[in-house]
Amino acid sequence: MPALTFAGDKALLTYNTQPGRLSERQSYSIRLKIDPIDWFYRQ
């Protein structure tokens, strides 16, 4: 499930990733992507 937060002129996007199949030793990873807000308006 992604989450989007705006802080100043930045957009912070967090999301979970996982391997193709989860074994007992594997788990999800949390990723963070930071872009300027104007990235959403570029064509």
* pLDDT score at 43: 72
DSSP 22: -
Q: Please give the model's pTM, rounded to 2 decimal places.
A: 0.67
Higher pLDDT, 22 or 39: 39
Q: Please give the residue that has the higher pLDDT: either 10 or 42.
A: 10
Cα(40)–Cα(10) distance, integer angstroms: 11
Q: Which residue has the higher pLDDT, 16 or 35?
A: 35
